Structure 1
Amino acid sequence: MTTDTTETTRAGFVALIGAPNAGKSTLLNQLVGQKVAIVTHKAQTTRARIRGITMEGNSQIVFVDTPGIFTPKRRLDRAMVAAAWGGAEEADATALIVDAKRTSPEHEGFQAILASLQDAKMPLVLVLNKVDEAPKERLMQLAAVANEAVPFAHTFMISALSGSGVDDLRTCLAEMMPEGPYLYPEDQVADLSQRVLAAEITREKLFLRLHEELPYATTVETEAWEPRKDGSVKISQVIYVERDGQKGIVLGKGGATVKDIGEAARKDIEEALGIRAHLFLFVKVRENWADDPERYRMMGLDYPGRA
């Protein structure tokens, strides 16, 4: 998109925060106009801060999709929650995303997040998501309770999945950005390397294919990225698990499960990155990878000390 250079340009960061499964990643993809964050039906899928970038008029908005805010139990949980609040503190505006379908006004997690935002310094926007699946009375109650507790500048009711109301939200946030030069090239849609995005897409397929707690015990790293003469790319990734028994589940009988995961990931990688890909997946055991500082660095998380 080209812009009128005679007009004042704006650029800034908007943090998307909320409880797990509120729809932050789905909303980010809608706001940007393409897939830059993984989306599953499981909570706590997003582990690090992912930046999606969009142009709205003469404003460049850098959306920061943060991990869900919840009560942390493990070291990785603490790092994820710290990343979420850190993203909010560093932003020019923060949008609180609320799952209006499943959240009641008296919900403990909802109340806790509102309490944490009462002394916030940046402008705040309330976004009630999944409004097409929530009764109107609850929407009115959620909006009233939230605005009584926190001075939200604006309240929006949207469906991140269908896109309803998202354009108005984007326009409003664009106007809230501070004046200044653009932070990224105008055609860039994510501050995420191809290797990391490819690993994130494979991790999404793990969450969708595996059950119960096993997806949370896995991580994916892109070990090799080799362009070929025909323009395609050979991508080698390692799926790390914590125990030998988990390796067999990820592989599946005769390698069927990991093959299905790889095929689904390859298709999405090709679509997201606009390349032809040859994806090779390997499953390895790395005990206590969730306590390895190097893994946190690769996810863009600070390594927390013990509780």
Structure 2
Amino acid sequence: MSTRCGFAAIIGAPNAGKSTLVNAVVGSKVAIVSPKVQTTRMNVRGVAIKGETQIVLVDTPGIFKPRRRLDKAMVAAAWSGAGDADAVVLLMDAADLAEHPQGHAARDTDAIVEGLKTSNRKAALALNKIDAMKHAELLPLAEKMNATGVFEQVFMISALKGDGLADLTDWCASKMPEGPWLYPEDQAADIPSRLLAAEITREKIYLRLHDELPYATTVETEKWEERKDGSVKIDQVIYVQRDGQKAIMLGKGGATIKKIGELARQELEEIFGRRVHLFLFVKVREDWADKREHYREMGLEFPEE
């Protein structure tokens, strides 16, 4: 039997559950997750295997109406991931859309559907978080989306609980073209270790801090030093935009940054399977979100304005 391999892009409005879905299908942590919108900033590739088929799942940033330069770069990355893919899955937070039919997510999703129509792109629709709503609420939503003519198939899933994921994975596998696998069988993700380490630290910032501060932050791995004892020393810089944000990031007596470092180090040791010495430094750089080099570090194209 010949092998198959291709790309399946998971797109959707912010906070639809795309990263949770990719992690669940892959079976290990590939993308960072937090309850905040716009946690994912770049396309992250996770690798799933179904029989003789290798599916490279592309977790994309949420698509919304961008205002800042960083927002524009994230949305451009999402559409680029969809354009290059062999299959596209539009993931919707069905519970949120049923409760807030005129909300931000509904408007963002409508715009995504229009974008798919304009590009003449067929997709699968995955209605997520069905465990949080009644079945009777799902049908009108499915019918409305079906009427757009964009979707080949509709799946009702819970990315968190794993419901319906086997059927969705089968559909993705059926769309993959014949060809050799791109990754070894035991590789779950395609992301450089330095970038993954920075993303894990950024996830802990999103989970520990609130309001606008996480969005005013970026993390860069400045140094990666292999030790003779098999451990690794990682130096990271957390950039913020104002002195007041730096004070919050550090916390009283350095308590907040210490906790962020502890949580990040513990997870990095689990991921890399070895001891990690993590050192975090907080620096103020007011215009980091307008500097080309920071976009390169994040794996994003720099949008000219």
Q: Does TM-score exceed 0.5, indicating one fold?
A: yes
Distance 1:151 1:122, change over 3 A: closer
Deviation at 1:126, TM superposition (A): 0.5
One-letter code of the match for 1:250? M
Structure 2 CA distance, aligned partners of 1:32 and 1:157?
18
Equivalent residues in 2 for 1:1-307 (5 A)? Answer: 7-104=1-98, 107-306=106-305
Contact between 2:116 and 2:122, CA under 8 Å: does it hold in 1?
A: no
Kept after mapping to 1: 8 A contact 2:66/2:75: yes
Q: What is the deviation of 1:150?
A: 2.8
Say whether the 8 Å CA contact 1:114–1:150 is kept in structure 2.
no
CA contact (8 A) 2:218 2:239 kept: yes
- Which letter maps to 1:138? E
Q: In structure 2, how many angstroms separate the alpha carbons of the residues matched to 1:123 and 1:185? A: 30
Check the 8 A contact 2:11/2:91 in 1, yes or no: yes
Q: Percent of pairs identical after alignment? A: 61
CA shift, 1:271, in A, is 1.4
Structure 1: distance between partners of 2:285 and 2:205: 17
The answer to whether the 8 A contact 2:116-2:150 is kept is no
Aligned residues: 300
List per-residue Cα deviations over 1:189-231 (Å, max 9, x = no partner).
1110111101100000000111100000000011111122221
* TM-score where L is the length of structure 2: 0.95
Correspondence for 1:3: none
CA deviation vs aligned residue, 1:32-64 (integer Å, no higher than 9, x gap): 110010000000000011111111110010111
Q: RMSD across aligned C-alpha pairs, in angstroms?
A: 1.2
Structure 1: distance between partners of 2:109 and 2:286: 35
Q: Residues 135-165 of structure 1: CA distance to partner in whole angstroms, max 9, x if unpaired? A: 2222111211111103312211111111111
Amino acid at match of 2:40: T
Distance 1:190 1:228 in 2: 24
After superposition, the C-alpha distances for 1:4-37 in whole angstroms (9 at most, x for unaligned) are xxx1110000110000000000001001110010
Q: Whole-Å Cα distance in 2 between the matches of residues 276 and 172 of structure 1?
A: 39
Distance in 1, matches of 2:69 and 2:174, equals 38
Amino acid at match of 1:19: A
Q: Could you state the TM-score of these two structures normalised by the residue count of structure 1?
A: 0.95
Question: Is 2:265–2:276's contact at 8 Å kept on the other side of the alignment?
Answer: yes
- Kindly tell me: are residues 90 and 73 of structure 1, through their superposed partners in 2, closer, same or farther at Cα, counting changes over 3 Å? same
C-alpha distance in 1 between matches for 2:3 and 2:118: 29
Is the Cα–Cα contact under 8 Å of residues 91 and 122 in structure 1 kept in the other structure?
no
Letter in 1 for 2:66: P
Alignment partners' CA distance in 2, 1:198 and 1:175: 33
In the TM superposition, what is the alpha-carbon distance from 1:110 to its structure 2 partner?
Answer: 2.3
Q: What SS does the aligned partner of 1:199 have?
A: helix
After TM superposition, give the deviation of residue 246 of structure 1 in Å. Answer: 0.9
Gaps of 5+ in 1: 1-6
Task: Give the AA of the match of 1:9.
Answer: T
- Whether the 8 Å contact between 1:117 and 1:150 is mirrored in structure 2 is no
